[in-house]
A = this chain, B = another copy of it.
Amino acid sequence: MALTRDTVVETAVRLLTQYGLADLSMRRLARELDVQVGALYWHVASKQELLVDVAAHLLAKIPDNAPSQEITSANDDDVAWVRQELSVVCHSIFDALLPIPDSADVVQWAAATRPEALRAVGILRDLLTHLPVEPTRIHAATSLLLHHIVGIVAELQNATMAVGEDQLEARRVNDRLRESFEWGLERVLDALA
């Protein structure tokens, strides 16, 4: 069966999930797919382009309960609903990245270079337009939320690497950073709504 861009991306995601970024090389990917390295370059222009697709894939399942009506942020109930929905989306980004090694680095980089390629960024933006945030600050607010999420995930993934086998210590670090995530998210959402 012929190679497709989708199978290349999916295999890349699998390698990242199982072995981390250090083992996600074009050569390793080619070996996994039983082709020569050169074959990959028929389907993707570069490793960087591939990593953007990998990041997009990792964030593909973020729920998108777009506001059904035109919410004008005049109504307090509506603002509360949007705030709650933002919290849900942020948590689901967090949960999607946490189990994938080095995913925070990949997404951080993809978000900085090609944010429009990440569905999750668009979802955050759309929700933020329904809050009393000036239109010129939507981008800033999106970045603020995203940097908080991937920043904490990066800390968590690196710390988990560092403690190694020590299950007890790993759990402590995990709990502490999870709470940092929750606390910071509340502070930021408070600042926005």
Q: Does A172 contact B (CB under 8 A)?
A: no
Q: Which of the 9-residue segments A33-41, A56-64, A66-74, A177-185 touches chain B?
A: A177-185
The interface on chain A, measured as residues whose beta carbon lies within 8 A of the other chain's beta carbons, has a size of 35
Shortest CB–CB separation between residue A53 and chain B, in angstroms?
17
Hey, which chain B residues are within 8 Å of A144, CB to CB?
148, 184, 187-188
What are 22 pairs between A and B in contact, CB < 8 Å? Answer: A105-B109, A108-B151, A108-B154, A109-B154, A112-B154, A112-B158, A112-B159, A136-B179, A137-B183, A140-B179, A140-B180, A143-B155, A143-B180, A144-B148, A144-B187, A146-B151, A147-B150, A151-B151, A187-B192, A188-B188, A188-B191, A190-B191
Hey, which chain B residues are within 8 Å of A158, CB to CB?
109, 112-113
Tell me the bound Cα distance from A113 to B191 in angstroms: 29
Shortest CB–CB separation between residue A185 and chain B, in angstroms?
9
Hey, which chain B residues are within 8 Å of A183, CB to CB?
137, 140
